[in-house]
Amino acid sequence: MTVLPSTVSTASAVPVVPSGGALRGAGVTSVTLDPAGFWGVRQGVNRAATLRHCLDWMERLGWIENFDRVARGETTVDRPGWQFSDSEVYKLLEAMAWEFGRAPDDELAALFGRLVERVAAAQDADGYLNTAFGHPGLPGRWTDLAMGHELYNAGHLLQAAVARIRTGHDDELVRVARRAADQICDEFGESGRHGVCGHPEIEVALAEAGRAFGERRYLEQARLFVDRRGRGTLAVRPLLSAEYFQDDEPVRSATVLRGHAVRALYLSAGAVDVAVDTGDDELLAAVTRQWAATVGARTYLTGGMGSRHQDEGFGDDWELPADRAYCETCAGVASVMLAWRLYLASGEVRYVDLIERTLFNVVATSPSADGRAFFYANPLHQREPGAAAVDGVNTRAEGGVRAPWFEVSCCPTNVARTLASLGAYTASADDEGVSLLQYAAGEVELGGFRMRVDTAYPSDGRVAVRVLEAPEGEARLRMRVPAWADGARLAVGGGAAEEVLPGWVDLRRVFSPGDELVLELPVGPRLTWPDLRIDAVRGTVAVERGPLVLCVESTDLPVGAELAGLEVDVAAGVRVSGDGAVVSGIVRHDRAAGPALPYGAPDAGEGERVELESPTAIDVPLIPYHRWAERGPATMRVFLPVRG
């Protein structure tokens, strides 16, 4: 086994620091995003609006006061919030911690400090910390491992503490988290309680906490939780199944992700951490295999995962309905977590490609422009306009409307912590040099390089990288050419642009300040055809531009035209239009449902299919999917039925 480093530098605030593997990630402070860039804008809104928005909602609903109630000894079973509401407070603390890591903010820091005090006051003497279990008037500790979320909550506490210590603060939150982790190790260690948590999260959290705090014991506990899973120890409630919890099959032998999507992805991320830090190649290979099978037949064009509203779960292979795509925002976040760890372990570009796709089309789709409303589910087809946005608590599963808060409100804080630490996922380093992974205007300081990136990506495909500082001697600079970028070109140092293939452009040379690399990525619109085995979108085509999936929204159709009557004619190709595109198509106007079954006449041949009346030729305008539903309730579709 690899030995864990006893201390990790906090200088660059790196979220994930495996003790082995191919690469090191950038840190939250080693990448500075321009405030006006695609991601810089979102990071700014997150900092200025979303953090306080989440804090206000949790205060208003009493989820924070739950900690005070424990401290005051006034706990009751009718406490507000679900059994996992503590985790939302912790995810907010994590988001805040990364934000402070990037730039101080005294007012936010004061809010953070008061929040930590309230959390700390609820901790038991032995380290146990939970507001829904283990106190007078509440169910006892660990009495509902399947659905109680106690370890899940603790996992998010640990992740907040990791963010805190990695950004240079060995403070009260860190101490609270360590006490909680120690108590869990005492309780669930090799000779302790033989259980796992119904919702994975503690695994990935303990592994990183072990790295951050130099506690080998935490990693060992994460390994135990991963190994124990899949052996049917969780009590399965009526109407659920062991698969829902990934308790049907050990991680080591499973072939594909299944059951509840966020659970499956968090577990896999933790399993990668355990595999890398213990040198367990078999376990790493198992997760790699599951990832490939999942991406190959259970993942949406947007990178979204989770085909079913029921159980918020993965579907079977090829079960990828556009309309009922669940594609929970949190599953997008979790998919980025998993792919990032697999990338760090392997250095393979495919993981970074999926991260880009998921960031632009799931993570960026969730928050509204003002950072105060969110999508929970991210369907690729909306048949009926959603209700107008409600300024209140929404049921979680509604598509078509971003809402300020949800009954199960995991997504807002998950978006917040992801945006707050986003820079860390844009570059990586190894002993030879630096890899640029995601293209965003800003500055990168990593691996001896300091670089300025100028780009309006993804609106424009030109990415100019200027070296401001370079390491001594020969170094390597890798730039990712996305899988979709056929015909990309790179110009080095003012020379002629030459075609570069998807994958890595790998430059090994002595770099000097002033060197410039200009990558031109073809972000014009392109048609994307689904695999013939995806029944739900047979006979349709999607349009993409660079990393962006496009969609058509009813808002942009002529008055009276309905999306249900749309067909496109792609023979004439796709034209650019602003940030989107235009294709030719028709709409049919007779969309009333008849009184008879919607299936054709008995003897109808191919030419006699049910035809709707009055097709009208139109231009079909497409916009980036992440911007849909910004202009009020609308119908929408990504996959466009092809005429004829």
510-549 binders of a second copy (CB under 8 A): 526-540, 542, 544
**DSSP bridge partners of 453:** 442, 465
Nearest to 73 by CA among 7, 131, 140: 131
SS3 641: strand
Report, in Å, the least distance between residue 604 CB and a second copy: 5
Residue 384 engages a second copy in binding (rule: CB under 8 A): yes
For helices 202-213 and 150-166, angle between their N-to-C axes, nearest 10 degrees: 30
With respect to a second copy, which residue has the nearer C-beta, 194 or 538? Answer: 538
Residue 618 engages a second copy in binding (rule: CB under 8 A): no
Token code pair at residue 165? 């210590």
Among 301, 333, 415, 581, binds a second copy (CB under 8 A): 301
With respect to a second copy, which residue has the nearer C-beta, 356 or 445? Answer: 356
Token code pair at residue 28? 């939250």
With respect to a second copy, which residue has the nearer C-beta, 496 or 593? Answer: 593
315-374: contacts with a second copy (CB under 8 A): 315-324, 350, 354, 357
414-453: contacts with a second copy (CB under 8 A): none
Question: Which contacts qualify for 276-279: CB closer than 8 Å, 24 or more apart?
Answer: 276/18, 276/19, 276/20, 276/21, 276/341, 276/344, 276/345, 277/1, 277/2, 277/4, 277/18, 277/19, 277/20, 277/207, 277/210, 277/211, 277/219, 278/1, 278/2, 278/219, 278/223, 279/1, 279/2, 279/20
| Cα distance between residue 372 and residue 381, in whole Å | 23
Report, in Å, the least distance between residue 317 CB and a second copy: 6
With respect to a second copy, which residue has the nearer C-beta, 168 or 522? Answer: 522
Stretch that binds a second copy, among 158-166, 186-194, 302-310, 462-470 (CB under 8 A): 302-310
Cα 445 versus chain centre, distance: 24
Among 95, 151, 177, 295, binds a second copy (CB under 8 A): 295
Stretch that binds a second copy, among 57-65, 175-183, 265-273, 484-492 (CB under 8 A): 484-492
SS3 383: coil
Residue 78 engages a second copy in binding (rule: CB under 8 A): no
Residue 617 engages a second copy in binding (rule: CB under 8 A): no
Question: Which contacts qualify for 66-72: CB closer than 8 Å, 24 or more apart?
Answer: 66/122, 66/131, 66/132, 67/118, 67/119, 67/121, 67/122, 67/131, 68/118, 68/121, 68/122, 69/131, 70/121, 70/122, 70/131, 70/135, 71/118, 71/121, 71/122
Among 45, 235, 483, 491, binds a second copy (CB under 8 A): 483
583-612: contacts with a second copy (CB under 8 A): 591-606, 608-612
Stretch that binds a second copy, among 18-26, 132-140, 156-164, 287-295 (CB under 8 A): 287-295
212-241: contacts with a second copy (CB under 8 A): 238-241
Residue 58 engages a second copy in binding (rule: CB under 8 A): no
Report, in Å, the least distance between residue 316 CB and a second copy: 4
Among 272, 408, 557, 587, binds a second copy (CB under 8 A): 408
Residue 378 engages a second copy in binding (rule: CB under 8 A): no
Nearest to 345 by CA among 261, 436, 279, 432: 279
Among 396, 462, 489, 627, binds a second copy (CB under 8 A): 396
